[in-house]
Structure 1
């Protein structure tokens, strides 16, 4: 049995790491968790919460990161799990496909990300790539704890809409659609699950939480996957929740999406919301086929066992079955010093 460490900087990383913690424990491994910054007050069930110095002393075989970076001075292979899908908020070189020189193994979500990262691995030669699926979505296909059923129960047979929004001001639908969503909630013919990105302004949280009642519930970040399983249709913007939801091949309505695609019902005017929802609840054959095609490209794994594939890929890397990796680039050493400064850790 081996020791493994989970690393997160944001609350939204916790649902990514929890299925992996469960898989590690099921295999008899010891699991530690280092949660910093906005994730500091979070919890991963079954993992031992550690301080930075405890994590260093833990000397894990591997560190699983659901962030863009990882403390390079902690022992073990550094495994990138990703904190979201590629939703094209930024250029590739600055966004999803940016290589920072910190990771040894990238566990990709599906063909749409595997091929670009394998091309990058062939060019840079200092990391490996294995397509495993995304651990966060395991509960999407295995509602073992009944959270999704509990979230859906108050709908009492009504159709269920999930609303989710990014925090990026220029892309967020939350301010623009509030009045239209409130009107829909007040109608009561459908049941709403409402959630916001943790970085959204507090005043937005207050407004949306106030909509909770017989026709709506506010869902916290840790319940987001269960809410996606519970909902029939998603209303969103350019948030990566769109891609997560589409994996189920369920319809999505998007407001001013930065890069609208064939599987999205995208619109620009809040007054169009009722009509767009009607279309989503009766999707055309063209939309259904676009949903299936896109889902298979970004995340074909529908068995709920991606966390176990992540573990298998990591064990293959550690054993050398994936081959050797080259030396990290000079920029990685500079970034490692920045990370030490940010975390306040200067011991060797």
Structure 2
């Protein structure tokens, strides 16, 4: 009988919990063990039965692989270094970061796979496996089946990213305030965790019988509760489109036929009305887009990630070329973590 394998789940933000916990479940289901390491917020939200390690503990743990949704991880941790991503490409600059820390990128669907594979072929120091995204495993199982009909009193999710150059929260504030007063629709408002406090306070003050401000760490929990989404240039809108429901965006950085994108505040209300009508041509575009970014509907992406690591190790656990030296980024990571010991354990 083989010994259980050890894996490390690495986070720098609280969102790592929602992305990596399905992977933890898959690791445990096959009789192996998972532990966590944080170099930022998140450790305080671990629950009983979840193991938190410090650097010395990681050294004793000797993980077979280290998984992270971020763009970096300590090069001196043992194990295969695996990127599982923190969101879909929302049209923001630099979705594709190749910083020389990873052995394996586990992509979410054909669109990203093509981009990353082209770079892997050219650079040779990392591999690519299309697996689907771990974060949405429970969600995909929960929404299996046909898109539900619009509620008698439709529910709208309003979500915005935090960057002033991309966020429409301040621009659309007066319209959300006006439309959340007449009772035609119910509203749930939620923002990126880094949204400026003054904007958050303004929207919280709008709460009434028709508008609720939600502070869920995992926005996916809100998706089954609503009939459509309003946003701007947030990666969460791509996650929402996997439900098959429409999204209205304001000046999206990469508009397409899967979105109802507007650039005038006066068009906000008519766009919502169109989204709630669910025209067939729009619904077909949404499905085509969803298949391009995440065609997997089985809720088993975490298992595919583990299988991809197994296959990488079976091939020898190495890529064609060595990783870049990355001295400056490695120094900054050591300083962040406070570890100045040897790189090889």
Q: Is the pair's TM-score, using the shorter chain for normalization, greater than 0.5?
A: yes
The count of corresponding residues between Structure 1 and Structure 2 is: 334
Q: CA deviation at 1:221?
A: 4.3
1:197-208 equivalences under 5 Å are 197-208=192-203
| Partner residue, 1:301 | 296
8 A contact 1:138–1:305 mirrored in 2 = yes
1:233 correspondence with 2:232: no
Q: CA deviation at 1:284?
A: 2.1
8 A contact 2:123–2:321 mirrored in 1 = no
Q: Which runs of 5+ in 2 are unaligned?
A: 144-149
Query: Are residues 229 and 310 of structure 1, via their aligned partners in 2, closer, same or farther at CA, if it must alter by over 3 Å?
Result: farther
1:27 correspondence with 2:30: yes
| Partner residue, 2:251 | 256
1:2 correspondence with 2:5: yes
| Partner residue, 1:60 | 63
**1:7-40: per-residue Cα shift (whole Å, max 9, x none)?**
1111222211111111112222211111222334
| Partner residue, 1:137 | 136
> SS at the partner of 2:260?
strand
8 A contact 1:31–1:46 mirrored in 2 = no
**In structure 2, which of residues 256, 261, 267 is the aligned counterpart of residue 266 of structure 1?**
261
Query: Are residues 212 and 45 of structure 1, via their aligned partners in 2, closer, same or farther at CA, if it must alter by over 3 Å?
Result: farther
Q: Which runs of 5+ in 1 are unaligned?
A: 145-154
RMSD over aligned Cα, in angstroms? 2.2
Query: Are residues 217 and 28 of structure 1, via their aligned partners in 2, closer, same or farther at CA, if it must alter by over 3 Å?
Result: farther
Query: Are residues 236 and 332 of structure 1, via their aligned partners in 2, closer, same or farther at CA, if it must alter by over 3 Å?
Result: same
Query: Are residues 272 and 40 of structure 1, via their aligned partners in 2, closer, same or farther at CA, if it must alter by over 3 Å?
Result: same
**In structure 1, which of residues 332, 335, 338 is the aligned counterpart of residue 332 of structure 2?**
338
Query: Are residues 157 and 20 of structure 1, via their aligned partners in 2, closer, same or farther at CA, if it must alter by over 3 Å?
Result: farther
> SS at the partner of 2:319?
coil
Q: TM-score if structure 1 supplies the norm length?
A: 0.90
8 A contact 1:64–1:79 mirrored in 2 = yes
Q: CA deviation at 1:231?
A: 1.8
| Partner residue, 2:209 | 214
What is the distance in 1 between the residues matched to 2:107 and 2:227?
A: 27
Deviates further, 290-299 or 179-188: 179-188
| Partner residue, 1:43 | 46
What is the distance in 1 between the residues matched to 2:280 and 2:199?
A: 36
1:161 correspondence with 2:156: yes
Q: CA deviation at 1:167?
A: 1.0
| Partner residue, 2:190 | 195
8 A contact 2:246–2:275 mirrored in 1 = yes
Q: TM-score if structure 2 supplies the norm length?
A: 0.90
What is the distance in 2 between the residues matched to 1:25 and 1:187?
A: 49
Deviates further, 80-89 or 29-38: 29-38
